[in-house]
Structure 1
Amino acid sequence: MAASKRFTSRVWEAFRSNGGHDANCFGHFKVLDAKPGWVKGSMVVEKHQVNRLGSLHGGVTASLVDTVGSLSLSTKGLWMTGVSTDIGVTYVRAALLGEEVLLRGEVVGQGKTLAYTRIEMTSAKTGKLLAFGTHTKSIQQALKSPENVRFDEEGERELPKEA
């Protein structure tokens, strides 16, 4: 397993293990792949995630944009992924109860204070776009975490910490 995927999976497990929002909302989310700058994951829409119409609740989708955006930052070696400053979601099609959805998050820009991510949710069965979003995070403090790591360009190996 590539170092970037291993690290991102550890960050996801840290999100889940505190027993808070991520664990309660989408504890069965799985990290499928990760390379520096992007992450891919999946989950099956469960009963506690749907609205009264039987489709994925918009708030859960927005939360997934938040979490997958954060995980995309972890693919670049950030253990703490900062705090949200802005989230936007566009809903294209309904994801129904029992449907598997794929999520892909990517870092589209990163500076010394802010990072910008874009997330897409598609149907695993049809490949059709279900929703997309953007997520901006303040990362000033996250960049200082002693738990941060560095990867080679492909994310295969963890590099030594800089002195």
Structure 2
Amino acid sequence: MGSLAVGTKGQWMTGVSTDISTSFIKPAGTEGDTLYCRGIVDGMGKTLAYTRIEFRNQGGQLVAFGHHTKFVGKTVNHERNVKFSPDGEDLIEGTIPEDGH
């Protein structure tokens, strides 16, 4: 999820993991229950991106969280990066390759 969060910032590659952790707070439920996951980019600089992931149960209670630090130095300001609208729905700068690579 940390990589997906970095991808929402338009990076053409999401870098390499340098630190990753998960903490489980309480049981998440039983088989068949729905969990909700949210990935957040807390900060992104010239070389590192810091992400936070939250898992919540159907009642909205936090059941687990994680942190993921990524080395993104080779992708910052790369010609293949794109820019999305604030809501993430539209591509406003750059192009996405037809073949997905």
* TM-score category (smaller protein): 0.7 to 0.9
SS of aligned partner of 2:10: coil
Q: Which has the higher strand share?
A: 2
Measured on the aligned residues, the alpha-carbon RMSD in Å equals 1.8
Equivalent residue for 2:82?
Answer: 149
Task: String of CA shifts for 1:127-152, please: whole Å, max 9, x gaps.
Answer: 11110111100001233655421123
Equivalent residue for 1:105?
Answer: 39
1:30-109 equivalence runs, <5 A: 68-95=1-28, 96-109=30-43
State the TM-score, normalized to the length of structure 1: 0.52
Unaligned runs of 5+ in 2: 95-101
Greater relative CO (CA pairs within 8 A, separation 6+): 2
Unaligned runs of 5+ in 1: 1-67
Does residue 118 (structure 1) correspond to residue 52 (structure 2)? The answer is yes
The residue type paired with residue 46 of structure 2 is K
Does residue 129 (structure 1) correspond to residue 66 (structure 2)? The answer is no
The residue type paired with residue 103 of structure 1 is C
Which shifted more, 150-159 or 102-111? 150-159
Which 4+ runs in 1 deviate beyond 6 A? none
SS of aligned partner of 2:2: helix
Which shifted more, 98-107 or 87-96? 87-96
Percent identity between matched residues is: 47
State the TM-score, normalized to the length of structure 2: 0.79
